[in-house]
Amino acid sequence: MKHQPIEHVGAEAALTLVETPVMSRRKRLERWAELLERDPHRRLRALSRVEFIRERDRAQIRDDDTPISVAFADPVLKAAGLGGDTFGDARQFFEMSQEEAHYLLCDCHYLGTMDGATVARRVRATAHPNLAHRLFVGSRN
């Protein structure tokens, strides 16, 4: 380490700015779907009984091997601002309503486990509201 007066350090220092990728909600959701589709048969864990957890505690729930953990392992989504692998982190980052997050992540919609392809389809439907509406209405007929 070279010792020198503080006045000289600023003159020699180089700043490097790292740009954070700016991604729209749709792009973030599309990226998540793509990550899930990379391993379509991967068994993932659903979050248990989300609707029965007090709302103030719901944001902190998490588990290993969830669709959220797949997203959080991605350096692109992390660089874009995904701060963790909790229900609240996913809701905030992907700009999801409670209902959207519950539909994508809760075990009552998957009977406990899910696979990458199934979740990816639902994430894409969330990214494209017209598609989500068609899928939802179509599944009720």
pLDDT of residue 141: 38
pLDDT of residue 13: 54
Query: 57 lies in which domain range?
Result: 23-140
Q: Is 11 a domain residue?
A: no
Instruction: Write the DSSP string, 66-126.
Output: SHHHHHHT-HHHHHTT---SSHHHHHHHTT--HHHHHHHHBGGGTTTEEEHHHHHHHHHHH
- Residue 27 CB-half CA count within 13 A: 8
Q: Which two tokens stand for residue 14?
A: 């180089």
Q: What is the pTM of this model?
A: 0.77
pLDDT of residue 63: 94
Tell me the mean pLDDT in the region 97-126: 89
Higher per-residue pLDDT: 8 or 72: 72
Q: Is 5 a domain residue?
A: no
| Count of domains for the chain | 1
**Is residue 29 predicted with pLDDT exceeding 80?**
yes
